[in-house]
Structure 1
């Protein structure tokens, strides 16, 4: 059987711990083509037993549907004579849906990673006209519910929760000392909370600034990541004189390797599909806490592990409480969270779910 996975871009921030690559690993006994529409493959061909296809479209070409893009991609795909196509996110899904009459692919699967992807009227109309014969994979129950509310049939939508390769995470994590040194954490810092994510408003990092400003005794926090909010966050940190309590560490490739720098993981997001970084933290033995949005409560089902979103007071209270938790308390939480991950987010379960869906 010949299967193609089509992604707008490869994940260049990690190597190995990546869901696009894990889908490819689910099909070792079948011909698997991995299409990357923009950018390079991050050397994925060296890690996977598959055929990498680089389209080299520009961001401008992919911003709107262009006839030239459709023709070039259609030519490549028709030569392949595919049995299954798997698209990730909206842009590749739209492109394949528009050319599906000319491809005759028996099984079409779209993986949707976030909340609110089909709420706009134009996209709702598109799904009614072009996606009725597709199977839609949601990365969490929360994403599935959002897709059904947006107009997809509940029979179309299947949940395959995100997962991480726990063994790979554990084998590549740095020592606490190495991680803290690389991140630039001052030596005087003791217990530390941390988070990983792009610096974007949806990630809620500004609430960490507000929380630490409200509560001088709260646990210090380090943020790994870069993005559009960096300048604003730096200005807020300076204004509140938090330079010694809130550390912007910048982006790091394979950021999961630095989780050992943290005593607890905190995610203050405003919206999430199902965040990989929480699964990575749990794999690394770091107890995790997050806002009760999207798929986060599916990873952190105990209400004591979550807090309300956009609530700096609740965040300050949690960071203060974490200063007095014993090491034994934190280990107990980490162990309980690890059991949840083993039960529902195992990498073998992830592979098997995609095999069953694609191969029937």
Structure 2
């Protein structure tokens, strides 16, 4: 099977990491991949190339798309002769979907079997974009909704919450399938505390409890609620430290540091910025926290669970389906509830937290492995006219 992926860009993000992991898992079945980035080279390009996968750069401008690029993409799709074209995120769904339709028609004229590749769209955002989230994005999403009955053979959603919101936004419900993201359980796994690089880097005692949060600095992540919760938790657990990892979570972020200073928690917070070793750092947490207002299937929660770390997370998207009974779910935007959830886990002894962590790891292995995820993608790719689901069981 040859799969061509068309993606908006190759920064480090949930969809981009999912693409990387899917390629890794599927190569064991002899699947050949080509990745086409609509924008420029970025962080994930070399990581994908390291897997022996060709990465092509279309070089479109985000501010002023060039229609001529459409014909270059069409030419590439005809040349590559894929069995499946998988697009990732709205701009790629729209632009790549139109190009795929033209390529399928053009190729089919010369040789019928070359025009039969399957087109799969990818939805990786929970909420259907509104004008508040950006005029351009909202317009692109509206066009995608209108074309969803005409272009894609199937629309793969990363979460059931994403499917529901996009159906409400006008997407074709009969073409939508839910395949929960899969996780690399060999990379994200529990590690011994005596080999903990995080406490060593921060100069913390091995017995110091750490509450961690991971993610880019973005309004949807609601770091204001997290910081308010930290102030409450710190008053009850003064020896605990709170580590924030991700793009924009560093001392140069004046808005963030101002919030921390106003909350009076500068001494207990550690801002590390982005890291390529999240899989090593995350396993050092005693508790993982998610404070988001909006998520699909939150990748960082699944990664923490795979590391054997119990989680406190806001009840957004399909977080409940991911966590089950292995952690604490709290309402979004409620710092008191978030603080109470964190304290309830910190109050357990180490064995109690480790037991919850083992349960979380077992849940990930049985329901959310990347191998199971790829098997679901492969089934959707190879079967026509039949519905498939993955991971929707919320028990």
Question: What TM-score do you get using the length of structure 1 for normalisation?
Answer: 0.88
Q: Which residue of 1 aligns with 2:112?
A: none
Is the CA contact 1:173–1:259 (under 8 Å) kept in the aligned structure 2? no
The question of 1:168 aligning with 2:184 is answered: no
How many residues matched? 354
> Which residue does the alignment assign to 1:53?
56
**1:189–1:245 CA distance, 2 compared to 1 (3 A):** farther
Cα distance, 1:225 vs. partner?
1.1
2:302 corresponding residue in structure 1 = 279
- Counterpart residue number, 2:160: 141
In the alignment, what sits opposite 2:41? Answer: 39
State the partner residue of 2:75: 75
Q: Structure 1: where are the runs of 5+ without partners?
A: none
Select which of 224, 230, 233 maps to 2:245: 224
Tell me the SS of whatever aligns to 1:167.
Answer: coil
Counterpart of 1:21 in structure 2 is 20
Change (3 A) 1:321 1:177: same
Other-structure match for 1:243: 266
Instruction: Spell out, residue by residue over 1:228-281, the C-alpha distance to the aligned partner (whole angstroms, 9 max, x if none).
Output: 893211011122321122222211123222113311111111111111111111
Distance 1:285 1:53 in 2: 37
When the two chains are superposed, the root-mean-square deviation of aligned CA atoms in Å is 2.7
The 8 Å contact of residues 296 and 318 in structure 2, kept in 1 or not, is answered as: yes
User: Counterparts of 2:142 and 2:373 in 1: how far apart (Å)?
Assistant: 31
| 1:194 aligned residue | 212
Deviation (angstroms), 1:348: 1.2
* Superposed structure 1 runs of 4+ greater than 6 Å apart: 171-174
Question: Which of 325, 329, 336 does residue 313 from structure 1 map onto?
Answer: 336
Q: Is the 8 A contact 1:173 1:258 kept in 2?
A: no
Q: Displacement of 1:338 after TM fit?
A: 2.1
Q: Counterparts of 1:243 and 1:129 in 2: how far apart (Å)?
A: 49
Q: 1:50 to 1:42 in 2, by over 3 A?
A: closer
Structure 2: runs of 5 or more not aligned: 105-114, 132-137, 384-395
The whole-number CA distance in structure 2 between the counterparts of 1:167 and 1:197 is 21
Q: Do the aligned partners of 1:4 and 1:82 also contact (CA within 8 Å) in 2?
A: yes
Of 94, 111, 120 in structure 1, the residue corresponding to residue 122 of structure 2 is 111
Please give the residue correspondences for 1:317-328 in structure 2 after superposition, counting only pairs within 5 Å: 317-328=340-351
Q: In structure 2, do the counterparts of structure 1 residues 103 and 317 end up closer, same or farther at CA, with 3 Å as the change threshold? A: same
1:181 alignment partner, one of 197, 200, 213: 200
Is the deviation greater in 339-348 or in 277-286? Answer: 339-348
Give the distance between the partners of 1:167 and 1:173, measured in 2 at CA.
Answer: 15
